[in-house]
Amino acid sequence: MNSKITLVIIAVIFHLSCLYVIATPQHITILNASAVNQRTLDEVRIHAERELRVSVSARDIISTNMVELKSIGRSANENKRNQDICLIVLTLSESPLHATILSNEQVAVINVSALHSDDSVKNVRRLQRWTMRSAAFLFGVGPDVDPHCVMHDYRTMDEFDKLGLNFSPPWGDRFYQAAKARGLQVRPQFQRPRPGMTKVVQPPPPLPKGN
């Protein structure tokens, strides 16, 4: 009798665990290796979730003393969970590289030190750009020729600071299709009001009768 009860309990637990896996959607995950404060992390995550139109989570991990970005990425990969479809790691490193992409591991590493600016607004925007770029590169979306697209190539920090903070429409479509192919739920695009269309134009009053 006791063995039957035990088997029933095990079956129920297994069923509930399966339901949890099914009900928990995958998402892009930002790992903060003691590289930024909570406010900056929130700004980067919220911007990425809005522009990528998919679920983006963020959590802290313990930083390492590694310098090479690839080594940092492989170490961070040990923190990957079932719901993490890919990882974007924010780290501090003496490496001159701004970022590196580990396609096989689906891990990107952003070097916060190399992107640092004394201008706090510029600093956040640099991290927002590279978070967008990281997600796109991990999903197989390459550089864009549009100089206003966040995916445009750059050679200097001045050029990088002039890039847009989001995708050009064609590159956005490429990313969203790639996200759907990976099983992510892509939200409808937010429709911004077009210039000149925000003011409601009232119809003219009717002419008085008898005139």
pLDDT score at 172: 97
The tokens describing 1, both together, are 């009798």
Residue 60: CB atoms within 10 Å: 15
- The side-by-side arrangement of strands in the sheet containing 56-60 is 56-60, 27-32, 84-91, 107-111, 99-102
Residue 188 lies in a domain: no
Helix axes 120-138, 38-52, angle to 10 degrees: 50
* Owning domain of residue 141: 26-181
pLDDT in tens, the chain (211 residues): 555 555 445 544 444 444 333 446 899 999 999 999 999 999 999 999 999 999 999 999 998 889 999 999 999 999 999 999 999 999 999 999 999 999 999 999 999 999 999 999 999 999 999 999 999 999 999 999 999 999 999 999 999 999 999 999 999 999 999 999 999 999 987 654 444 433 444 444 555 555 4
Residue 2 lies in a domain: no
- Residue 30's domain is classified under what CATH number? 3.40.390.10
Residue 147 lies in a domain: yes
Residue 86 lies in a domain: yes
Task: Identify whether the C-beta of residue 51 lies closer than 8 Å to the C-beta of residue 176.
Answer: no
Residue 162 lies in a domain: yes
What type of residue sits at position 69?
L
Residue 148 lies in a domain: yes
The terminus-to-terminus CA distance of the chain in angstroms comes to: 98
Task: Identify whether the C-beta of residue 146 lies closer than 8 Å to the C-beta of residue 171.
Answer: yes
Residue 9 lies in a domain: no
Count of structural domains, the chain: 1
The tokens describing 138, both together, are 């991990």
Between CA 45 and CA 29 the distance in angstroms is 9
What type of residue sits at position 104?
N
Residue 210 lies in a domain: no
The tokens describing 191, both together, are 């429709």
pLDDT score at 1: 53
